[in-house]
Amino acid sequence: MSADQASTAPAHGIPLHEATRVWARIAALSFGGPAGQIAVMHRILVEEKRWIGEERFLHALNYCMLLPGPEAQQLAVYIGWLLHRTKGGLIAGALFVLPGFLAILALSYLYVLLGHAPLIAGLFFGLKAAVLAVVVQAVVRVGSRALRNHVMRGIAAAAFVAIFVLDAPFPLIILAAGLIGYVGGRSGLPYFRGGGGHGAASGAIVHDRDTALGEGLPDHARPNPAWSLRICTVLLLLWLAPVLALFLTLGPDDVFTRIATFFSQMAVVTFGGAYAVLAYVAQEAVGSFGWLRPGEMLDGLGMAETTPGPLIMVTQFVGFLAAFRDAGPLAPLLAATLGAILTTWVTFVPCFLWIFAGAPFIERLRGNQALSSALSAITAAVVGVILNLALWFAIHTLFGQVRPAATPTGAIDLPVLASIHVPAALLSAAALVAVFRFRVGVLPVLAASAAIGAAYIILR
């Protein structure tokens, strides 16, 4: 039997059809961002099913956190591959994305067809206000874990100034932070010693030896250069061949070529999680390409927050609107649907590539202090990037007018204080109180804010 085949009942005794049902269940429950999604996987795979142990789960998570892209989805691919080889990884990763893709596609149709109806406009008005609180919560949550000393706080501050004041590209900020952390780790400086991640669920530790997979390494998980070359070649073709075909047939300025090129680039440089990605996408999709208006990024994030799957699925909404508004000879809804599919394809195919290419070799990463330090510095920089995102959202949500202010590299938007939208400010303040004072969960806050927003727009 080849390494690419998956038998019905492997040595660990878990049939592929049973694993498929479990992955579908995990996908349906994957709300709440990466922390919530990882907690769901841990609860079901480690604590409930006891398919893998705590040590193996955290080792896989640490590897996924070193990669660009959504770590929760990549963790699903990794564990699916570990249990059922290539087919298991493909099934786990695809199912993790599918529910969110379908939900956001349906909401995107609703948005462009009925977005100006009072009820729908009110729902999105409320979601925008609540999303501000969610992003601020992300700043606090990630910052409390990542900014443990003055060096890390300095990296976060420098990242904020670089992206907000100097309009520096997000990839450059991440590269600089990673290099600083790597050099610091190689030098043995204590400031860069990290660890962490999102953390696993509390409770008694389930050791690898007490699980179905056990402590041993499956044969297919050992490095196999021939298999790695084959799978990487296939995935590279699946990822880049459509991009090249669009470039050659439609030209570099066509909206589909730009979508494919931009989101392929994003897939390579999006370290730091969904909120950091959003700052980069907002900077380019709104400022450079003109695909969206500022407030529409908040609408997309509201969709992603209230549907299962990775928060990075908000990029699908960006691709949908970009193609809808520049459909060319196609019907707008058909173009938008193709734009959403293309965006999702070039965003997530690389995720499978990173896992299948690197997973058999991850033992070499265990205990590598330099790589861990690079991740710590990148995470600190991400705090500054998310703070920029929160400020950017606040300016364009709470104020009706902005004015440009000159900077050494261009200009930034500052709010015109007299144009503050009082209802939006009050609703955002209420959401912040609910999140920080009363510890209300994200989904109830979003639902309540959407309902209040709808009532306000209808009754005003």
Q: What percent of the chain has pLDDT over 70?
A: 92
Residue 4 has pLDDT above 70, yes or no: no
> What values do phi and psi take at 70, rounded to 5?
-75, 115
Per-domain residue ranges of the chain? 16-194+224-455
Which amino acid, 150?
Answer: H
Residue recorded with tokens 């997973």: 359
Binned at pLDDT 50, 70 and 90, residue 143 comes out as: confident
Lowest mean pLDDT among 42-46, 120-124, 203-207: 203-207
CA atoms within 13 A on the CB side of 168: 20
- State whether the Cα torsion 156-160-166-171 is positive or negative: positive
Cα–Cα distance, 72 to 206 (Å, whole number): 20
Segment 104-108 long-range contacts (CB within 8 Å, at least 24 positions apart): 104/303, 104/304, 104/307, 104/313, 104/314, 104/316, 104/317, 104/340, 105/316, 105/320, 105/337, 105/340, 107/303, 107/307, 107/317, 108/303, 108/316, 108/317, 108/320, 108/321, 108/336, 108/340
343-363 in b/e form (b: 16+ CB < 10 A) is bbbbbbbbbbbbbbbbbbebe
Residue 435 has pLDDT above 80, yes or no: yes
Cα–Cα distance, 175 to 194 (Å, whole number): 18
Cα–Cα distance, 348 to 240 (Å, whole number): 12
- pLDDT for 455 equals 94
Question: pLDDT per residue over 349-393, tens digit each?
Answer: 999 999 999 888 875 565 577 877 887 888 788 788 878 878 887
Residue 137 has pLDDT above 90, yes or no: no
User: Alpha-carbon dihedral of residues 79, 82, 88, 92, nearest 10 degrees?
Assistant: 10
- pLDDT for 176 equals 92
Cut 0.75: pTM above it: yes
- pLDDT for 272 equals 62
Binned at pLDDT 50, 70 and 90, residue 7 comes out as: very low
Mean of pLDDT values over 177-205: 74
Residue 201 has pLDDT above 90, yes or no: no
The count of residues in the chain is 460
More confident residue, 49 or 376: 49
